Amino acid sequence: MPADQALALLRDRRLVVLTGAGLSTDSGIPDYRGPGAPGRTPMTYQEFVSGAAARRRYWARSHLGWGRMRTAHPNPGHHAVAGLDPTLLITQNVDGLHERAGSRDVVALHGRIADVICLDCRCVTSRADLQRRLDDLNPGWAAAHADVAVRPDGDVDLETTDGFVVPDCDTCGGVLKPHVVFFGENVPRDRVDRCYAAVDALNGGAGTDGALLVAGSSLTVMSGLRFVRRAARNGTPVVIVNRGATRGDALATYKVETGCSEFLTELTAATAVA
């Protein structure tokens, strides 16, 4: 069975772990591309900076979605990854649940939704502080839209956002944006370089003694797929755990179609015994 073979391969190796939205679904946060997920078109960076109407639409939805997202808790998969203590944990998720579960060496490729940045003065502030400002400026908004469906990355399914008030930066009066990488933006180069270095270090030279474990990512976007390609090019084993096809399946040593929490919990237990 692929799961048994994958567990046997991984249990004695140094690991770099790459996680995606599928790892957080057990925490109640929906993903973009999992089986049965409805088609969604997230806002691009170009749309966000196009004008006040687009930003109002984004922040009105995000105000509702983040109010729920911040109450999510790490699930057994997050705790299992923390127990594995990989050489590096690379996550495409912005929810911060890996850090809350106790993972130490983490690169959040796309940033963290709990931070806000001003596009003018580049000051970084807390999303919790902005949430309080949004509550004050939009009394009753959350209660009036309590039944809207939650979407990935702290968003909700809401079309009409007329009348929602978006504050400016407290420091300079500039435009506020969540400190995450939107579609249409590039992952900062220093993050990419750190991840490449960790993947390259998995190859022990005379023989490979490391492996790349991908959990809960469809690898649809290049931000994650490039590390699978790098590992495969280096001759490093790649294990992909994901329900549904991924763009990296052809490069995988083993592809396991099961839940992330189940597989990772079993791997952590097997590693502890070893």
Q: What is the pLDDT of residues 134-182, one digit of tens each?
A: 999 999 887 777 666 565 555 555 667 788 999 999 999 999 999 999 9
* Residue 172 counted as an annotated binding residue: yes
Strand-pair category, 238-241 with 254-256: parallel
pLDDT at 252: 97
The structural domains of the chain, with segments of one domain joined by +, span 1-29+74-110+187-274, 37-71+113-180
- Assess if CATH 3.40.50.1220 describes domain 1-29+74-110+187-274: yes
Pairing mode of beta strands 111-118, 124-126? antiparallel
Answer whether residue 244 shows pLDDT above 70. yes
123 is in an annotated binding site: no
Q: Which of 33-42, 212-221, 252-261 has the lowest mean pLDDT?
A: 33-42
Per-residue pLDDT tens digits for 3-41 = 999 999 999 899 999 999 999 999 988 765 545 544 556
Q: Which positions are catalytic?
A: 110
This prediction's pTM: 0.90
Question: How large is the angle between the packed helices 260-273 and 76-84, nearest 10 degrees?
Answer: 30
Count of C-beta atoms within a 10 Å radius of residue 254: 20
Q: What is the mean pLDDT of residues 240-250?
A: 96
Give the side-chain half-sphere CA count within 13 A for 57: 15
Is 64 within 8 Å of 13 (Cβ atoms)? no
Name the CATH architecture for the domain at 37-71+113-180: 2-Layer Sandwich (3.30)
Residue-level pLDDT at 216: 96
Residue 233 pLDDT class (50, 70, 90 cuts)? very high
